[in-house]
Amino acid sequence: MGCFRNVIFPGVSKPIRYEDRGASADKAEVHKAIAGEHPGLFPGAFCKVLPDTLTGSPDHCLLIHADGAGTKSILAYLHWKETGDLSAFRGLAQDSLVMNIDDLACVGVFGPFLLSNTIGRNAKIIPGDAIAEIIGGYRDCIAMFAEQGIVIESGGGETADLGDTVRTLVVDSTLVARATRKQIVSGDRLKPGLAIVGLYSGGRASYETAENSGLGSNGYTMLRHEFLSPHYKTAYPEAYAPEIAGLAYTGKYRMSDTFPGANVTVGQTLLSPTRTYAPILKAAFAQAGDAIAAIFHNTGGGQTKCLRFGSGLTYIKDNLFDPPPAFRALRDNPAMAPRELYRTLNMGHRMEIVCEPSVAEALIHISKSFNVDARIVGRTEPSAGANRLILNDGAAEYTYEL
């Protein structure tokens, strides 16, 4: 699959792109590298699904999924350095775990899960007490999921001291699950005429302990450097790659500053734990499973994630949420082109359920019963060629193709 087509952004001669800071929104090189890999039992599914080689059952399948907190771990490090408070490290476990569970939920799998976690640290910089906080965070998160009927068994993991490789800290997780093949959402039902229900990324879900900024755990190479001031570049050179020195920490805020438009600090906004939508999706499948064609977790690739699923489709999104304050602040930044933001961040809804229009209102009701706002954000229509996304945010319209 190719990269997104280059365009000229009105009013911005050369906007900052995710790639300029050494990250990738569409991961074109990764997709090219794995092009020769076997796609699994259901090539159109959100996650790769494997035969059940452990038991040989033709009715079952296996899933193994790896993801992590990404560069959000650097923010926990900066918080600790500035405050002496280790608690921010604890939230990284949830960030890492949810990025896996919510991906697997997109194919209709809700456990039980087996967990193995991997922590890579620079032991000269990250103390053992921080590792203890992360491990404690896994215990907390596993307990939270258990309360929602989602079982996770921890099999331990690996902590490696990698000072020559890791500048600060890496927190990753791997989950394994076994499921019946018939329960897998394979993407085969994607077609024109479906509704797209978006689940809001801000607010406070019934199973959360605080208001969520909605940022999740992707795009933090952009978020850190756009919001935080050059103070962090000078004081903590270990907290950025020297190859991007000219684009490192170009913002105007310290982590202790009050975030504009919110009643929390910049640090609290950026470190807000990644919300899981798994309890909502589990309830949605229980009520309307046969009418759900696909679920998209809008992390890497942001609102353009949908382009990689189905064929001959035009995804139209023209009823978006007003984004939470963090996204509004980015959108108002003249250095950031809105088109670039939509292909990098969720910008207001991180989960999408593509379904038969007849069940859309029921799914919205389920989400709201968990105190998470939801709405029909768009629909699917035919495309004569490659998949397209037409996104209208009320101010402009953007078209994306792979």
Query: Is residue 335 very low, low, confident or very high in pLDDT (cuts 50, 70, 90)?
Result: confident
Mean pLDDT of the chain: 92
Query: Is residue 29 very low, low, confident or very high in pLDDT (cuts 50, 70, 90)?
Result: low
What digits encode the pLDDT tens for the residues 196-215? 999 999 999 999 999 999 99
Buried b or exposed e, range 193-202, using 16+ CB within 10 angstroms: ebbbbbbbbb
Query: Is residue 9 very low, low, confident or very high in pLDDT (cuts 50, 70, 90)?
Result: very low
What digits encode the pLDDT tens for the residues 246-271? 999 999 999 999 998 888 999 999 99
Where along the chain do the CATH 3.90.650.10 domains lie? 1-37+185-402
How many C-beta atoms surround the C-beta of residue 370 within 10 A?
Answer: 17
Query: Is residue 11 very low, low, confident or very high in pLDDT (cuts 50, 70, 90)?
Result: very low
Of 213, 189, 217, 185, the C-alpha closest to 201 is 213
Query: Is residue 38 very low, low, confident or very high in pLDDT (cuts 50, 70, 90)?
Result: confident
Could you tell me which CATH number the domain at 43-184 has? 3.30.1330.10
Dig out the tokens for 376 from the structure: 């029909």
Q: Which amino acid is at 225?
A: H
> How high is the pLDDT of residue 34?
60
Query: Is residue 26 very low, low, confident or very high in pLDDT (cuts 50, 70, 90)?
Result: low
- Which whole-number Å values give the CA distances from 231 to 239, 245, 254, 349, in the listed order? 11, 13, 8, 32
Question: What percentage of the chain exceeds 90 in pLDDT?
Answer: 86
- Tell me yes or no: is domain 1-37+185-402 CATH 3.90.650.10: yes
